[in-house]
């Protein structure tokens, strides 16, 4: 960011992408950070509302809230008071016929660029790939890109959890954002560093964890940092001080996670078709590989590759599984582990 290069953060879900950006920005001086999360964004109005919400928070702390309200007068802003904090909040009416083409988004970015004198704006678009799901996404991206490319005094950070979608934004030659940001990969933590770190954390709390136990734990979550943290927290909750951790303790910790996540598991199963359920069990059993193999056909009873492709696409659209290299990976490894232990569902 000190070189003013725009970057896009690559990495699977729960690998710490957002935390990394926020931590780095917190350590930098003389910047103004605008963080906007576009997860499940529906349309341009929704995008604009999220931008306005982020801008109102930043403007309030920077002392330019009134200037923002005046700048957005043509968007019919409404100022209200957050009952929890007592601070003013800002919202705008749906665009309707008023500039539904993305130009109002550009105006908001222009305010961010010029509205905070003396500090460099850093604009962080989180889950940016979800912009692709809104109507006329390519036109919108072209409008945004035509403006952003002139913002030499700003730094733009784009983060997303879908590698394929982020690739289509930044690596597809037909995309307006083609090669417009430097890729920064964020992955798992190497075990040579992560295993002793976790052992040390358990030791600080009076629990003894062996290398084998930590490796078994990391195997279950495919080394994902966020999922590792969740499992470790539950392992902590379900064991006593001075305990030496064993495999049965991990199973007890998983049982606690399964109980907490059961509503989600139930929702996935209830919303899936019979074919999709069979595919879920097959993907879990084969660890996401060989979905067109004879073994997969035997496990699922589904032999038509076209039917399997259709079911998997629906599971991907619903963010239950996603592609990672040549594998299909569950968004929640705990759903996979639960399916393996509950084949009757």
Q: What pTM did the predictor assign? A: 0.80
| Per-residue pLDDT, 187 | 86
- Give percent of the chain above pLDDT 90: 66
pLDDT(96) > 60: no
| Per-residue pLDDT, 98 | 45
pLDDT in tens, 83-93: 877 777 888 87
140: closest CA among 166, 171, 102, 96? Answer: 102
pLDDT in tens, 318-336: 989 998 888 999 999 999 9
For residue 122, give both structure tokens. Answer: 């850093």
142: closest CA among 99, 183, 92, 105? Answer: 105
pLDDT in tens, 152-177: 889 999 999 888 889 999 999 999 99
| Per-residue pLDDT, 97 | 44
For residue 52, give both structure tokens. Answer: 């306005």
Number of Cβ atoms within 10 Å of the Cβ of 88? 15
The answer to whether 34 and 22 are in contact (CB under 8 A) is no
Rounded to a whole number of angstroms, the distance between the first and last alpha carbons of the chain is 49
| Per-residue pLDDT, 245 | 97
What confidence category does residue 234 fall into, taking pLDDT thresholds of 50, 70 and 90? very high
Query: Does residue 74 or residue 62 have the better pLDDT?
Result: 74
| Per-residue pLDDT, 18 | 93
With the C-alpha atoms ordered 300, 304, 307, 312, is the resulting torsion angle positive or negative?
positive
DSSP E strands in 11-76: the ranges are 31-37
| Per-residue pLDDT, 100 | 47
pLDDT(99) > 60: no
* Number of residues that make up the chain: 345
213: closest CA among 237, 244, 247, 257? Answer: 247
Residue 93 CA to residue 91 CA, distance in Å, equals 7
């Amino acid at each position: 960011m000190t070189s003013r290069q725009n970057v896009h953060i690559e990495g699977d879900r729960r690998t710490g992408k957002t935390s990394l950006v926020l931590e780095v920005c917190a350590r930098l001086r003389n910047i103004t950070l605008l963080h906007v999360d576009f997860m499940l964004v529906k349309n341009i109005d929704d995008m604009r509302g999220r931008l306005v919400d982020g801008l109102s928070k930043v403007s309030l702390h920077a002392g330019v809230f009134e200037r923002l309200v005046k700048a957005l007068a043509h968007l019919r802003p409404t100022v209200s008071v957050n009952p929890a904090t007592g601070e003013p909040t800002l919202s705008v009416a749906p665009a309707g016929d008023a500039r539904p083409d993305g130009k109002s988004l550009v105006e908001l970015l222009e305010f961010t660029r010029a509205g905070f004198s003396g500090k460099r704006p850093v604009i962080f678009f989180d889950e940016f790939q979800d912009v692709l799901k809104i109507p006329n996404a390519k036109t919108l991206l072209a409008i945004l890109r035509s403006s952003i490319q002139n913002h030499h005094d700003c730094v733009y950070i784009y983060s997303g959890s879908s590698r394929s979608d982020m690739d289509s934004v930044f690596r597809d030659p037909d995309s307006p954002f083609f090669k417009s940001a430097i890729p920064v990969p964020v992955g798992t933590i190497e075990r040579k560093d992560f295993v002793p770190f976790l052992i040390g954390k358990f030791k600080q709390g009076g629990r003894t964890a062996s290398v084998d136990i930590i490796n078994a734990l990391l195997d279950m979550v495919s080394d994902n940092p966020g999922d590792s943290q969740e499992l470790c927290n539950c392992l902590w909750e379900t064991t006593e001080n001075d305990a030496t951790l064993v495999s049965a303790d991990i199973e007890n910790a998983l049982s606690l996670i399964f109980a907490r996540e059961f509503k989600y598991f139930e929702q996935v199963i209830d919303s899936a078709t019979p074919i999709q359920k069979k595919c879920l069990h097959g993907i879990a059993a084969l660890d996401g590989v060989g979905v067109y193999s004879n073994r997969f056909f035997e496990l699922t009873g589904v032999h038509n590759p076209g039917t399997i492709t259709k079911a998997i696409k629906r599971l991907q659209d619903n963010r239950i599984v996603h592609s990672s290299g040549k594998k299909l990976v569950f968004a929640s490894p705990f759903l996979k582990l639960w399916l393996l232990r509950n084949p009757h569902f």
